[in-house]
Amino acid sequence: MEFQSRQVKSMAKEIPDDISFTILSKLPLKSLNRFTCVHKSWAGLLQNPYFMTIFRANFLSKHHSYYNDTSLLLQQTPHLIDYLMGCGRPPYLLSGDKFQNRVKLDWPLPFQVDDRFIVILGSGIHGTFCLNQSKKFVLWNPATEEFRIIPPSPLDSPPDLGVMITTPHGFGYDPVRDDFKVIRELVTFPDYTAFEDDWPIAPDPSIFWEIYSLRSNSWRKLDAHMPIIVERPAKCTDTYVNGVCHWLGIVDLHGDEEHLASFNLSNEVFLTTPLPFDLGDRSLQKCLVVLNGSIAVISESAETTFHISILGELGVKESWTKLFTIGPLPWVGFPIGVGNKGDVFLRKEEKGELALFDLSSQMLEDIVTKEQLDSHRIIIYKESPLQIGQTEY
């Protein structure tokens, strides 16, 4: 191994910088971080403006088959009047070069009586979404209009456990077992627990993690070591990629450092990655996304300016790299998701309408809609005929 390392360093000295820059700019971020220690001139690559321009262009140009034939699902922001009237807002499918094709979707039958407070967990996987409303979970394929009601867990109403807070954290696909899974956290407190700002002060809670398997159609308690996740930002904070669920949170009941939490659905291993100092401020808005196949966090740095940081390697805090800056963009609110070409969708402040920022051209474009759609979250969706269950309720 030491001999191979000396060989690489010797070869690196013989390659001109312009050629080595071209080669290195095509590497994944994880590999690039490891190669920076090979040669003195490579140590500062991530601070070199010329190299970073090439690296960004290559990052955006990489093709991922996952994005083939995809459209976007737009979840709308519910208003107070909707809650008072006992109704929510339907999602829309957006497609076409300018997203000119818009199809209004009806929530599946289990939510048609009360479609308020519906949360979409993670991403659309093999054409399937996981919808959550309080303790109700439903798998839903909009293409086939099929749905599967997930049965309640035995832990939903445990005896003598007092106050319970349930937080769903992820929905994903286990490629090893060909299985859809849902993971959630249950935190229980004795009845005499004192609360402040809707959060318990003392005593320390009991923590349960459990996982649902579509194949077995049942929940089971996880034996893996799982910390408590005590807080998450308001929206756009969970995603899924390559068999792993990811979400943002504070990974300690008494801590204040924000982490990326990751759970591998196949081997059931839990891993946390601290956010860097400039991302760890809990007062900043953040959006967790998958950008061209990589885990990324969009964060605000000023009123109308945002940064996109890419994670090179799970578990390695130093592998976060600030890759893109968006703005300043007047009259534009916080990003609500990314598209299938690396475009960033933003919610306009005035009417909640959509705008699209092209990371390659650095241009902002309004998305004109025939009717006002109050944008809340954008999720990439790939239609699939996969059958998951029933069509009647």
Nearest to 275 by CA among 239, 243, 246, 241: 246
Name the band, by pLDDT with cuts 50, 70 and 90, for residue 148: very high
Task: Answer yes or no: are the C-beta atoms of 241 and 217 closer than 8 Å.
Answer: no
Q: Which residue has the higher pLDDT, 236 or 319?
A: 319
pLDDT digits (tens, 9 = 90+) for 204-217: 667 788 999 999 99
Name the band, by pLDDT with cuts 50, 70 and 90, for residue 87: low
From edge to edge, which strands make up the β-sheet containing 92-95? Answer: 101-104, 92-95, 70-76, 375-382
Tokens 């705008």: give the residue: 355
Kindly write down the DSSP assignment for every residue of 230-275, as one continuous string: ----SSS-EEEETTEEEEEEE-STT---EEEEEEETTT--EEEEEP
Highest averaged pLDDT of the listed ranges 153-167, 232-246, 261-275, 350-364: 261-275
Kindly write down the DSSP assignment for every residue of 109-139, as one continuous string: GGGSS--SS-EEEEEEETTEEEEEETTEEEE
Supply 348's token pair. 């306009």
230, pLDDT greater than 80? no
4, pLDDT greater than 50? no
Q: Which residue has the higher pLDDT, 244 or 206?
A: 244
pLDDT digits (tens, 9 = 90+) for 76-85: 766 655 555 5
Question: Cα separation of 350 and 330, whole Å?
Answer: 11
231, pLDDT greater than 60? no
Supply 344's token pair. 């960033």
Name the band, by pLDDT with cuts 50, 70 and 90, for residue 246: very high
Question: Cα separation of 286 and 336, whole Å?
Answer: 10
Q: Please, what is the average pLDDT of the chain?
A: 79
pLDDT of residue 179: 95
1, pLDDT greater than 50? no
Query: Structure pTM?
Result: 0.84
Question: Cα separation of 121 and 123, whole Å?
Answer: 6
pLDDT of residue 6: 52
Question: Cα separation of 214 and 230, whole Å?
Answer: 27
Contacts of 304 (CB under 8 A, 6+ apart): 327, 328, 329, 330, 332
First to last CA, the chain: 62
